[in-house]
Amino acid sequence: MALLVMKFGGTSVADLERIRNVAGHVKRETDAGNACAVVVSAMAGHTNQLIEWTREAATLHDAREYDAVVSAGEQITSGLLAIILQSMGVQARSWQGWQIPVHTNEAHGAARIVEIVPEELKRRLGRGEVAVIAGFQGIGPDNRITTLGRGGSDTSAVAVAAALGADRCDIYTDVDGIYTADPRVVPRAQRLDKISYEEMLEMASLGAKVLQTRSVELAMVHRVRLQVRSSFDPPDAGLPAGADVAASSGTLVCDEDEILEQQIVSGIAYAKDEAKVTLLNVQDKPGVAASVFGPLSEANINVDMIVQSVSEDGKYTDMTFTVQDTDLDNALAVLEQAKDRIGYGEVRGSTDIVKVSVIGIGMRSHAGVAAQMFHALSEKGINIEAISTSEIKISVLIDAAYAELAVRTLHSLYELDGH
């Protein structure tokens, strides 16, 4: 018998038929003798409707009231799933964040979980009752409902798994696992059986939208084993009764020690939502970087890659960096305003770029991965506009037109193609 946390997102509980399918997955696990805590999101689209209403009510609104309104979506799903489970003969009850309780800080709308009190849940799980938990919500120090921000249900699930000391946290989603690359771009991409937390973190923050970065961080800190798998499979999937379906499909996100044969490169990710800003003829003097990035930081604009070209005359240089594409207009306006203070000739913005990244724990012990990458791209005539690296990742900024070509080239280069 294992203690499992199972998490189902909005598309998995979009209507009653799908909630029934979710209940089938849960029943499979309880039939196999497992104790289950199930974390659910709101029905797909419902949260957006509620958010829209709060916006229509007032553009600037009290985040505490926003939380009261928006958390209603998960409350509804949790009750409906409990009803359906009971109708299938599975003991179950719903839990709101304030009932468990899931204590958070006071940052309404984007709260962080401080503590989950697990005793009562454990007691009931122990006697075979399924806990259906409304995800995305908690209770603040002011005794009011808080929400955890977008994708918060993943975080709820991991936090509940950590508090319960669960054997595994199964994240049911609309894809069947983590792939070596986006299968829409690389048809020969392969599903990974296992991936380390560190690699998953890079994947998540680099555009593979399967898991929220925050939930992966939390899982890494508390060593919660995450299994990513599809909720659209039929619950029994044609396996013999009692078979561990979840463990036999999907991708396990786990400690790197659990991964015996470590690949040098585990996957290729790309992000299209970046924009490039170039400042021409910037005065090459001490403090100029601060004068550029200070105002951007004050305007809450995150800067990612930065490249400064070598100054030819020792007086003027060019500076290129990337921001989220949604921040581009704002960034240009901020720089225009600070033009005199910074001292530059011209500013240019472009969204026709893409960031392609090669990720792998194995890079730590293998030299030459970057050199191979740059060589392969140049052979295809792809110009690299900027580079950034970490211990387990190399990212390059290239012309958006070459995105697919670059991803496929690198996927083959590191021998990730399936057959």
Return residues touching its own copies (CB under 8 A).
Answer: 16, 19, 50, 53-54, 56-58, 60-62, 64-69, 71-73, 75-76, 78-80, 82-84, 86-87, 93-94, 96, 98-99, 143-145
Residue labelled with tokens 């985040």: 63
Cβ atoms within 10 Å of 57's Cβ, excluding its own: 11
Q: What is the Cα–Cα distance from 252 to 259, expressed in whole angstroms?
A: 10
Q: Where are the beta strands (DSSP E) in 32-101?
A: 35-40, 92-95
* Nearest CB to its own copies, comparing residues 56 and 340: 56
Q: What is the Cα–Cα distance from 53 to 174, expressed in whole angstroms?
A: 27
Q: Quick check: 413 and 180 in contact, CB under 8 A?
A: no
Q: Least CB distance from residue 132 to its own copies, whole Å?
A: 9
* Nearest CB to its own copies, comparing residues 60 and 310: 60
Q: Least CB distance from residue 32 to its own copies, whole Å?
A: 23
Residues 248, 44, 94: CA angle, nearest 5 degrees: 75
Q: Least CB distance from residue 354 to its own copies, whole Å?
A: 39
* Nearest CB to its own copies, comparing residues 72 and 185: 72
Q: Least CB distance from residue 303 to its own copies, whole Å?
A: 34
Q: Least CB distance from residue 77 to its own copies, whole Å?
A: 9
Q: Least CB distance from residue 119 to its own copies, whole Å?
A: 14
Strand partners, 172: 8, 229
* Nearest CB to its own copies, comparing residues 97 and 152: 97
Q: What is the Cα–Cα distance from 67 to 75, expressed in whole angstroms?
A: 12
* Nearest CB to its own copies, comparing residues 50 and 405: 50
Cα 67 from chain centroid?
A: 22
Cα separation values, 233 from 21, 29, 83, 183, 250, Å: 9, 14, 22, 18, 11
* Nearest CB to its own copies, comparing residues 49 and 378: 49
